[in-house]
Amino acid sequence: MTVEETAARGGIRRERRWLLGWAITLGPALWVAARAANREIALAGVTLVWTIGIALAIARLMFARCPRCGRLFHSANGAPSVAKIFAPRCGQCGMRLKPERIIYPSLE
């Protein structure tokens, strides 16, 4: 495992956290916007901003490259896919996103 692979895996995990963050904060943002003075405008603004944020986060994950094989991380056939966006392994080479625990390095 090289330093570049570790950094790239951290980047993919960070992108996943961004997507989950957008999804989790959508409800509270809509709740706050529903209580604003100009309700319709606030709801439209929140919907627009969160839709763009979620779409960008999904797109960044769809086109994330595997640090080991260089192909799309979340794709099994080489085409960008949303279906495996939370897959724990690279769809091409099988590299795990989380580091593997090595208790006894001498047994590798």
Q: Which of 66, 72, 74, 75 binds Zn ion (CB under 5 A)?
A: 66
Q: Which string of x and - marks every residue 20-59 that binds Zn ion (by CB under 5 A)?
A: ----------------------------------------
**90 touching Zn ion, by CB under 5 A:** yes
SS3 53: helix
Cβ atoms of residues 39 and 33 within 8 Å: yes
- The residues that touch Zn ion, with contacts defined as CB under 5 A, are 66, 68-69, 90, 92-93, 95
